[in-house]
Structure 1
Amino acid sequence: MNTSSPVLDRPQPAGHDAASSPAPTRRAFGWTQLVGALPGALRKLNPAELWRSPVMFLVWVGAALTTAIAIAEPFLGGPQNSGGTPVPAGFTWGIAVWLWLTVLFANLAESVAEGRGKAQAQALRTTRTATVAHRVRAYDAATDAAATAAATDDVASSELALDDVVVVSAGELIPGDGDVIWGIATVDESAITGESAPVVRESGGDRSAVTGGTRVLSDRIVVRITSQPGQTFVDRMIALVEGANRQRTPNEIALGILLASLSIVFVIVVLTLNPIASYAASPVSIPVLVALLVCLIPTTIGALLSAIGIAGMDRLVQHNVLAMSGRAVEAAGDVTTLLLDKTGTITYGNRRASAFVALTGVDGDELARAAVLSSLADPTPEGVSIVELAATQGVAPAAPEGSTPVPFTAQTRMSGLDLADGTQVRKGAASAVLAWLEAEGQPVAPQPRAELLQFTDAIAQSGGTPLVVATLDPRTGGVPLGAVHLKDVVKEGLAERFTQLRAMGIRTVMITGDNPLTARAIAAEAGVDDFLAEATPEDKLALIQREQAGGALVAMTGDGTNDAPALAQADVGVAMNTGTSAAKEAGNMVDLDSDPTKLIDIVRIGKQLLITRGALTTFSLANDIAKYFAIIPAMFMGVFPGLAALNLMQLHSPASAVTSAIIFNAIIIIVLIPLALKGVAYRPASASQILGRNLLIYGLGGVIAPFVGIKLIDLVVSLLPGF
């Protein structure tokens, strides 16, 4: 699967190998994106839009107030002195302009993040073309689906309602989201996933869900519509990637409350400065007080907070994962337990026959021949691999004339062949085959039984899966011949990734339907912390509830209807796009590539989101401390000479100090937009190590950057007349 190409790219041409081609890259921030986001940023200057961000709303109020004062100054005798020093002409207008730019730059950060999603959504809209649907007049599931689907009416896809049944043939677009209830077909989903390889969709399994706008390439299927017009999967994807329906997450809300509280504290502090200065016969002008307030409140993180959240969801979209809410992305960053299916996630899932293990006195070719005969009705990869292994040993028998294949069923757990002379050949789990022989009145003698179980236990302990082969001849009786060793190969590099997860404090649990011996061996080889063997849907749900009761946040993947309860219970439930509609409705994320290993990347992206927010919050608060030392001493040094000791930057004048600080306060937002969109580089580490690194880099950097930046800006501002 192509796990790294951005979703929603244009469909790839036929023959394109999505798995081998490099993923297109895009810059986190550029002038083209900046210009494109400018109209949206200007629209967001509306106070009705800004009130959701108390910090930036406060800056907007300050900008409006300063602008009003600048307009009124010519009628009031010009700029008033501030802090006992004259204010140059144009000072108030300069402060007003940079305050408006501060609000504009904050809006640009959010608009650039939203613009990336809108570009992706536009590509999705091309899949929502009006299509003709062949709606079945009266579908009867109890009779032949092909016959009942013959009488259809052609209607527009927009007229389809929930539970309507439609017929889709090769070359036609699927008119709406639904489940295949009859038939099997290959479907081109490149318009949704960016993956050019067609996928198989069939009724009665976990790969029955189809998405409106995708195209049937072969055969004919009957689909039951599972969504109302305007509420399809594509419609929800468009709304989500545009950010239109993005609700603020609990952490965002909590941080917003903290920032608002800090802003109120600084408002009180600034309001107390003027009475103190007035007492010293050096009142501070309102524009200077506004500038001081804006420089001290956490405008940097207030401006970037929304953009960080939108960018986090966008990074998931680039990995072909659709998060149904920002809460799910945050929860992924806090996950402490990962539940991973063995097949397809930890192992490749294509168990193959690696050896025939014959019992004492049984010829190896006889065992191989019986294994092939029992696999002729087994179309699974395991059955095919048995035939291929026997062929490499020169054994390739054909089914004798008059024989009857016995397909595998969940009840018998065996497959086989009934020959014309009455001989029966079976292959399956050891317990199933031994129980079959006993039911046929042919119990296995203790010695061969013990030897057989010794072989199967050894195979299971090595991480393989044993299949026992036996024959039942009406003349000579029934005997086991030996076992087939199936190997399921663990994916390369997983052990290292699990070690990284362990360093992050994340516990990994492998879930499998295998017996405990096989599960233990695979778990040891892969390096997971724990495993759940012979797992049922109820077992998965109970495990998640136990983990959550212990305070853990749990993430898991699933694709079947039987996974829906566990996906709904998990804090992060990642449904496979190839899975059923029930699974996709239950989860809070959908992996469009249907790659279960993507769960590890989702956790990394979630942690990167939290780390980015924490790092920029640290930087913003540290900025405020440095700006305090820049402005306060310069403003009041003439009134209180003792403050000269705090004038570390040696700024040119109070006017240049205030102007330089307000300019730096605006520019730093633009400088940090690429970091907010791209995210802080994530390295697996414990929470204490991450905190220490953030304090060192972004805390110390947040203190140093204003000293350097404000001083450099002051050198330029001091060249202006009057400063």
Structure 2
Amino acid sequence: MRKKPDISLFDWRVTAPALTAALAKLDPRVMAKNPVMFVTEVVAALSTLLFLRDLFLGADTAAVVGQIAAWLWFTVYFANFAEAMAEGRGKARADTLRATQSETPAHKLASITAETYETVSSRSLKPGELVLVKVDDIVPADGEIVEGIASVDESAITGESASVIREAGGDRSAVTGGTRVVSDWIKVKITSKPGESFLDRMIAMVEGAERQKTPNEIALNILLAGMTIIFLIVVVTLEPFVMYSGAAVSVVFLIALLVTLIPTTIGGLLSAIGIAGMDRLVKSNVIAKSGRAVEAAGDVDVLLLDKTGTITYGARQADAFETLPGISRSEMAEAALLASLADETPEGRSIVDLARRQLGRAFDGSDAIVDTIPFSANTRISGADLKDGVRLRKGAADAILTWCGLVATPELRAVVEGIAKSGGTPLLVARDKAVLGVIHLKDIVKPGIRERFAELRRMGVRTVMITGDNPLTAAAIAAEAGVDDFLAEATPQKKLELIRREQALGKLVAMCGDGSNDAPALAQADVGVAMNTGTPAAKEAGNLIDLDSDPTKLIEIVLVGKQLLISRGSLTTFSLANDVAKYFAILPALFVTAYPALDALNIMHLGSPGSAILSAVIFNALIIIALIPLALRGVKYQPATAASLLRRNLLVYGLGGLIVPFVGIKAIDLIVNAAGIV
């Protein structure tokens, strides 16, 4: 799997539009969706009115009030800028995808048997119509291959340079508009309407920053809104306290104090964190339909994986040649190769490939063939007749024994039964009515998958393979792949029952699949990861789509989900600790003249109430800007227990949130007083 090239954190192509978008987001109707920043905007507007009043009256406080109003607007603007940057990065990736989408000519067929075609615009194609796609042609729209087999370049969508095989029938018959045929030809039945192709939906998903909020995010929003209301009540009740005490505290100082105390840091960055999480998935070639799926991935307990096409390759492949006594391996390999040249099935091609690898030379031998016997589902045999009169056959064990007129010997029976018990399929190779040996066909587990499952296990995710195979075959594949459990002879109903059973136990379930029979389970799962090579039904049912069709990608998905949760928790811890520090740093400076005893808490010794509140407002704005890169990049995830993560949060972000405001506000106060701003 190759990740898409990253977009630099402050790429000007993203930053420039974000600067403008941040201004548009100042619309109160937009700001009202974020209670914390909406309050900040109201306070900024009120401060601006007070500044204009003082300026008109010629009051001495006009300069300070004006600076406070400016920094409050600065705070709101850069909170919007953080969200606009996160959205802009997603839209930049959408533009990259859109560059692959163009109106292409399509060769429309009147029927599947038609020998001529009409060239039309791809935009005019309707569901059900047939098109012919030849070498170097662009697939005009999403569809299903109804005839033919071809190698297809999907790099424009997936970023993968290696072409993939697409053929009629099975789970690898779907093709995506915008991909290119690099060999042979295919006839495709269109399945998407104009403007509703998979690529169109992908672009819409990537641009869809207006995502559904997750339960955790809703809970955090409620917490932030509650804290905002509490501090609003606190600051409002300070006004009569100020009047009673006789302290010289301006109203604008009190409303600015409100902004410094409410959790503006996390309030301003919350949306950016969620959108950036979806963007990180896009960089890994995974399209998320909702933020809920991204966050749920961070808490996944159980992962269900469909075997065929997910854990293993779609078709069984030749794994070994087992020879009978007196037969050499090269003799067996040559006979198997020649007998399989006329077998165009994936299994037949895999036998030819294995034989050529074992022979260690560019063996062909086709010039020795006078006649070929193509594989037939009726005979279950393929073969070749040679010029020297030798007849070679390859096929199912019972079919070959019948052709030879033989009964299996004990040695042959032992090999055949051993392969069958291991979950494989035995095929016999015969020469002139004599059996040479057995070809072991098996489900080939995708490389590196066992190690990735071990990594998931360390992250606390239990893996379960689901397959329609019998328990014996399922157990063999499960052991080889390294999954924790398996469900054999699985029907769509059994998959649903398993997911619901796990969910009833309070588990979050993720499901990877690519077939139409996986669609119900993908829809039921908390996280449904559909393979891009899968059927349209599977891709519609999933809430995440893996463009690389790599089931081990769930590790990246889980990591991004955990990173999103940890980033939000870390910045929330920092923000709350930040507010506590500002509370104890500013209040003593404001009221020490009325209550000298508060001087014991005035450990920062700020220059004046005016410089204290102005320094706090400036710090409040600058800290949001400083944290934008962290919100977009995310806090690095390292597998650890909940207690360890909490301890790290408190030590790094909690303690840091307490210390940084003291240092920052004091430094700004020294600059403000030295410059004579206040």
Aligned ranges 1:161-310 → 2 under 5 Å: 161-282=126-247, 284-310=249-275
Q: Is the contact made by 2:339 and 2:382 (CA closer than 8 Å) also made in structure 1?
A: yes
Deviation at 1:298, TM superposition (A): 0.8
Aligned ranges 1:354-433 → 2 under 5 Å: 355-358=320-323, 375-379=340-344, 380=347, 381-385=349-353, 387-388=355-356, 391=359, 404-407=373-376, 409=377, 415-417=381-383, 427-428=395-396, 433=397
* Mean CA deviation greater in 103-112 or 232-241: 232-241
**Cα gap change, 1:581 to 1:394, in 2 (>3 Å):** closer
- Identity, % of aligned positions: 58
Aligned ranges 1:98-113 → 2 under 5 Å: 98-113=71-86
**Cα gap change, 1:239 to 1:295, in 2 (>3 Å):** same
Partner of 2:116: 150
**Cα gap change, 1:176 to 1:355, in 2 (>3 Å):** closer
Q: Which amino acid aligns with 2:32?
A: W
Matched positions, count: 672
Deviation at 1:572, TM superposition (A): 1.9
Q: Is the contact made by 1:466 and 1:483 (CA closer than 8 Å) also made in structure 2?
A: no
Q: Which amino acid aligns with 1:71?
A: L
Deviation at 1:202, TM superposition (A): 2.8
Instruction: State how far apart, in whole Å, the 1-side matches of 2:172 and 2:639 are.
Output: 35
Partner of 1:82: none
Aligned ranges 1:612-631 → 2 under 5 Å: 612-631=567-586
Q: Is the contact made by 2:452 and 2:552 (CA closer than 8 Å) also made in structure 1?
A: no
**Cα gap change, 1:372 to 1:520, in 2 (>3 Å):** same
* Mean CA deviation greater in 263-272 or 332-341: 332-341
Q: Is the contact made by 2:131 and 2:189 (CA closer than 8 Å) also made in structure 1?
A: yes
Deviation at 1:230, TM superposition (A): 2.4
Instruction: State how far apart, in whole Å, the 2-side matches of 1:120 and 1:672 are.
Output: 23
Q: Is the contact made by 1:634 and 1:657 (CA closer than 8 Å) also made in structure 2?
A: yes
Question: Structure 1 residue aligned with 2:24, among 27, 38, 43?
Answer: 43
Q: SS in structure 2 opposite 1:552?
A: coil
Partner of 1:593: 548
Q: Which amino acid aligns with 1:601?
A: E
Could you tell me the TM-score, scaled by structure 2's length?
0.87
Partner of 1:675: 630
Partner of 1:119: 92
Deviation at 1:60, TM superposition (A): 0.5
**What do residues 197-222 of structure 1 show as CA deviations (whole Å, max 9, x unaligned)?**
44333322322222233334444433
Structure 1, unaligned runs of 5 or more:
7-23, 80-87, 140-144
Instruction: State how far apart, in whole Å, the 2-side matches of 1:422 and 1:505 are.
Output: 59
Partner of 1:93: 66
Instruction: State how far apart, in whole Å, the 1-side matches of 2:624 and 2:586 are.
Output: 19
Q: SS in structure 2 opposite 1:579?
A: coil
Instruction: State how far apart, in whole Å, the 2-side matches of 1:235 and 1:203 are.
Output: 24
Q: Is the contact made by 1:177 and 1:227 (CA closer than 8 Å) also made in structure 2?
A: yes
Partner of 1:562: 517
Q: Is the contact made by 2:324 and 2:412 (CA closer than 8 Å) also made in structure 1?
A: no
Q: SS in structure 1 opposite 2:139?
A: coil
Deviation at 1:245, TM superposition (A): 4.5
Instruction: State how far apart, in whole Å, the 2-side matches of 1:418 and 1:376 are.
Output: 8
Question: Structure 1 residue aligned with 2:614, among 649, 652, 659?
Answer: 659
Could you tell me the TM-score, scaled by structure 1's length?
0.82
Instruction: State how far apart, in whole Å, the 2-side matches of 1:123 and 1:272 are.
Output: 54
Deviation at 1:56, TM superposition (A): 0.7
Quote the RMSD (CA, aligned, Å): 3.7
Deviation at 1:628, TM superposition (A): 0.6
Partner of 1:58: 39
Q: Is the contact made by 1:513 and 1:536 (CA closer than 8 Å) also made in structure 2?
A: yes
Instruction: State how far apart, in whole Å, the 1-side matches of 2:647 and 2:562 are.
Output: 16
Deviation at 1:653, TM superposition (A): 1.6
Q: Is the contact made by 2:333 and 2:359 (CA closer than 8 Å) also made in structure 1?
A: no
Deviation at 1:531, TM superposition (A): 2.8
**What do residues 457-497 of structure 1 show as CA deviations (whole Å, max 9, x unaligned)?**
78x2xxx84625376999xxxx9875444677766765554
Q: Is the contact made by 1:438 and 1:444 (CA closer than 8 Å) also made in structure 2?
A: no
Instruction: State how far apart, in whole Å, the 1-side matches of 2:276 and 2:573 are.
Output: 19
Q: Which amino acid aligns with 1:116?
A: R
Deviation at 1:502, TM superposition (A): 2.4
Q: Which amino acid aligns with 2:515?
A: G
Instruction: State how far apart, in whole Å, the 2-side matches of 1:315 and 1:452 are.
Output: 50
Deviation at 1:368, TM superposition (A): 6.0
Q: Which amino acid aligns with 1:121?
A: A
1:693 equivalent in alignment to 2:629: no
Q: SS in structure 2 opposite 1:573?
A: strand
Instruction: State how far apart, in whole Å, the 1-side matches of 2:509 and 2:271 are.
Output: 26
Instruction: State how far apart, in whole Å, the 2-side matches of 1:221 and 1:468 are.
Output: 30
1:721 equivalent in alignment to 2:669: no
Q: Is the contact made by 1:375 and 1:427 (CA closer than 8 Å) also made in structure 2?
A: no
Q: Is the contact made by 1:369 and 1:390 (CA closer than 8 Å) also made in structure 2?
A: no
* Mean CA deviation greater in 211-220 or 314-323: 211-220
**What do residues 389-435 of structure 1 show as CA deviations (whole Å, max 9, x unaligned)?**
7746999987976663444x5x99x545498999995544xxxx469
Q: SS in structure 1 opposite 2:69?
A: helix
Partner of 2:2: 3
**Cα gap change, 1:124 to 1:359, in 2 (>3 Å):** closer
